[in-house]
Amino acid sequence: MTAATQYETLFRRVGSNPILSASDWPYPVHTVFNAGATTLPDGTTLLLCRVEDRTGLSHLCAARSKDGIGGWIIDRQPTLSSDPENHPEELWGVEDPRITFVPDLGRYAIAYTAFGKGGPGVSLALTEDFITFERCGLVMQPDDKDAALLPRRIDGMYALVHRPIADSGAHVWISYSPDLRSWGGHRMMLQARRGGWWDANKVGLSPPLIETERGWLMLYHGVRSNAAGSLYRLGVALFDRNDPAELLLRGDEWIFGPEEPYETKGDVANVTFPCGYTIGPDGDTLNLYYGAADTCIALATGSIREILDWLDRHSS
């Protein structure tokens, strides 16, 4: 008798998952999840975590660690809170940050969901140190979320990947700007597949795009709604390096999804929702930080090279 064939494992969870939970916080909070990630110049991993308190609204709080796994030093108060007086679009909180270091600005750009009376929209803030922030305000009006800036300009323009909701569904788009304020040149990048597919109902960018020699690698969340609710799993697609709206390859199957108890049980069951990654010193190891069940933060590691190989064998 031969052993049953297994699906390939592209991401391995670390043994200490979940790596951050509400009980780690220096002030009372309900849940911590959906964190943006970056590596600071001294090698420290910084996570900008979405934190929900008992008002039900979210703010962002920074956690720093030397090895990106443990020993987190967490800001003693919210790092970036909503500012509804100046930004009414943030009346109901700020959520799901994605961080991109932009060398030509010399600063980190944080794209986050601003939640207000009009619904969720996309806002941008710039920072050098994750202590003070310059807010650019709402750059994509509701309904829109799941956004991240590209680290470099394309044909002289900044590029933002985001996920507007229209009557036709929830698909990933890219838009361009000369100054991070005025946006145009909108093009659709990736469509929800419809029908019975695992990514039939909604797709959205997960962490920021990853630039590889073969193109821009996108890890995206695909949502399938069934009688029990919604399942949030992770898929992968590759886009042209010079024209990121141009889809080259799209994986047929999901590559990561809820399996462990901390992913299948929580405030929203069956959710794995990465908003950030860091890349190891070898230039290939991908440390993927994801919100689990909208309750805690977990880490899984993969290899960019293995993901690209898999994509060659599993794309339609």
Q: At its nearest, how many Å lie between ligand BMA and the CB of residue 111? A: 13
Residue (145 or 250) nearer to ligand BMA, CB? 145
Decide if 32 contacts 296 (C-beta within 8 A). Answer: yes
Determine the Cα–Cα distance for residues 98 and 4; give it in Å rounded to an integer. 39
Residue 100 binds ligand BMA, judged by CB under 6 A:
no
Q: What would the two tokens of residue 50 be?
A: 């979405």
Residue 291 binds ligand BMA, judged by CB under 6 A:
yes
**Which range of residues in 82-90, 97-105, 252-260, 268-276 is near ligand BMA by CB under 6 A?**
268-276
**From residue 187 to residue 226, what is the string marking binding to ligand BMA with x (rule CB under 6 A)?**
----------------------------------------
Determine the Cα–Cα distance for residues 205 and 159; give it in Å rounded to an integer. 14
Determine the Cα–Cα distance for residues 207 and 172; give it in Å rounded to an integer. 13
Q: Which of residues 270-289 bind ligand BMA (CB under 6 A)?
A: 271, 273
Residue with tokens 């500012």: 83
Residue (143 or 252) nearer to ligand BMA, CB? 143
Decide if 270 contacts 264 (C-beta within 8 A). Answer: yes
**From residue 25 to residue 64, what is the string marking binding to ligand BMA with x (rule CB under 6 A)?**
---------x------------------------------
Q: Using the 8-state DSSP alphabet, how is residue 115 labeled?
A: E
Classified as helix, coil or strand, 89 is: helix
- Closest by Cα among 232, 102, 253 to 170: 232
Residues constituting the chain: 316
Number of residues binding to ligand BMA, judged by CB under 6 A: 9
**Which range of residues in 12-20, 159-167, 266-274, 305-313 is near ligand BMA by CB under 6 A?**
266-274
Residue 96 binds ligand BMA, judged by CB under 6 A:
yes
Q: At its nearest, how many Å lie between ligand BMA and the CB of residue 233? A: 12
Determine the Cα–Cα distance for residues 224 and 222; give it in Å rounded to an integer. 7
Residue (10 or 35) nearer to ligand BMA, CB? 35
Q: At its nearest, how many Å lie between ligand BMA and the CB of residue 2? A: 39
**Judged by CB under 6 A, which of 72, 158, 220, 232 binds ligand BMA?**
232
CA distances from 313 to 143, 254, 310 (A): 35, 13, 5
Residue 268 binds ligand BMA, judged by CB under 6 A:
yes
Decide if 19 contacts 70 (C-beta within 8 A). Answer: yes
- Closest by Cα among 141, 183, 138 to 164: 141
- Binding residues (CB under 6 A) for ligand BMA: these are 34, 95-96, 232, 268, 271, 273, 291, 294
